[in-house]
Amino acid sequence: MSDSASSLQAITDFAEQLALQAGELIRHEREENTLRTDLKQQTELVTHADVMADEFITGAIRERFPNHRILSEETMPDLSQAEELDTPLWIVDPIDGTVNYAYGHPQVAVSIAYAEKGRVQAGVVHAPFPGETFRATRGAGATLNGETINHSGATVPRDSLFATGFPYTKDNLEPLVRRLDAMIHQCRDLRRIGSAALDICWVACGRLDIYYENVSPWDFAAARLIALEAGATAGHFGEVPEGYPADLYGRDILISAPAIWEPVRKILRTASAYD
């Protein structure tokens, strides 16, 4: 193993350690303490555990890598961080699936990614309630609880199970409804899981065939690398702005088994009136 590969594996190990510890924190907070919630931007649910886990993860990263930058959902959600490529960047979502968390559902994940020059090099997604840890280091494959995972191998949209999500704000749903209508009619069925990170990891391990949505970097950065390392295809059915790192651009994401990626892209582009 080269020095750089060994270094990335060490970073992935560190990210996994943080994700496991943060997962235990949020599990304990939900099971042992009274849930404390609030709203940010008048619409988006946030819990005290979100902030606690975010501060724990970002504090540990700062202590070990003081010169690295951090993009985190709760404490440092400055998206311009993704455009600055000279310094290594950590992308953190302390609780992906906050509504699930608040309602007692198990589909909740801690997501931690590490990027260099706009490319994600390491990613960990940990689901504390089922006890599942997905991880990947670029070029080294993807695993679930230490076992290698691969995509489903789906070959046609008609026989494919897809997942997507919807924004907290409901003032511009028409394009999303058009896409959903097209996909429902041309695929097997829909699953609405409530965590983008787990949606994508489930594509990586074959529980789903397709995922598409508009999300923020912290929702998908780690899981996207996991899916790629599991052999899935990841890209966008819309256009990525020139100069913006594709690994961190969250609009019009599409991740699927390779054989169906282009047919599904055409379905979504047509429904979006992009063509």
Q: Could you tell me if 163 and 136 are in contact, meaning their C-beta atoms sit under 8 angstroms apart?
A: no
Is 134 found in the same domain as 10?
yes
CB atoms within 10 A of CB 116: 18
Q: Is the pLDDT of residue 274 over 50?
A: yes
Cα angle: 131, vertex 112, 214; to 5 degrees: 100
pLDDT of the residue at 42: 47
Q: Is the pLDDT of residue 83 over 90?
A: no
DSSP string, 35-51: --EEEETTTEEEEHHHH
Is 125 found in the same domain as 13?
yes
Residue scoring higher pLDDT (229 or 244): 229
Average pLDDT score over residue span 89-104: 94
Is 125 found in the same domain as 81?
yes
| Dihedral-angle region of residue 101 (phi above 0 means left; psi in -120 to 50 means alpha; beta otherwise) | alpha
**End position of a domain, from candidates 148, 181, 205:** 148
209: annotated binding-site residue?
Answer: no
Is 182 found in the same domain as 99?
no
**End position of a domain, from candidates 148, 183, 199:** 148
pLDDT, tens digit, for every residue of 172-183? 889 999 999 999
Is 139 found in the same domain as 35?
yes
174: annotated binding-site residue?
Answer: no
Is 172 found in the same domain as 259?
yes
Domain that holds residue 68: 3-148
CA distance 194 to 171: 19
Q: Is the pLDDT of residue 128 over 90?
A: yes
Is 129 found in the same domain as 25?
yes
3: annotated binding-site residue?
Answer: no
Is 175 found in the same domain as 104?
no
159: annotated binding-site residue?
Answer: no
pLDDT of the residue at 58: 96
Q: Is the pLDDT of residue 29 over 90?
A: no
The domain that holds 121 is classified in CATH as 3.30.540.10
Is 136 found in the same domain as 25?
yes
Give the three-state DSSP class for 29: helix
Q: Is the pLDDT of residue 224 over 50?
A: yes
Is 215 found in the same domain as 258?
yes
43-47, 103-107, 232-236, 239-243: which has the highest mean pLDDT?
232-236
Q: Is residue 152 within a helix (H) or strand (E), and if so which, with residue range?
A: none
Number of domains within the chain: 2
Nearest in space to 218 (alpha carbons), one of 128, 138, 114: 114
Average pLDDT score over residue span 94-117: 95
CA distances from 129 to 28, 132, 171, 257 (A): 10, 8, 33, 27
pLDDT, tens digit, for every residue of 31-45? 886 666 565 554 466
pLDDT, tens digit, for every residue of 193-208? 999 999 999 999 999 9
Is 243 found in the same domain as 123?
no
**End position of a domain, from candidates 148, 168, 183:** 148
Is 226 found in the same domain as 129?
no
Give the three-state DSSP class for 71: strand
The domain that holds 183 is classified in CATH as 3.40.190.80
Residue scoring higher pLDDT (75 or 216): 216
pLDDT of the residue at 1: 62
**Share above pLDDT 70 across residues of the chain, in percent, rounded to a whole number:** 92
73: annotated binding-site residue?
Answer: yes
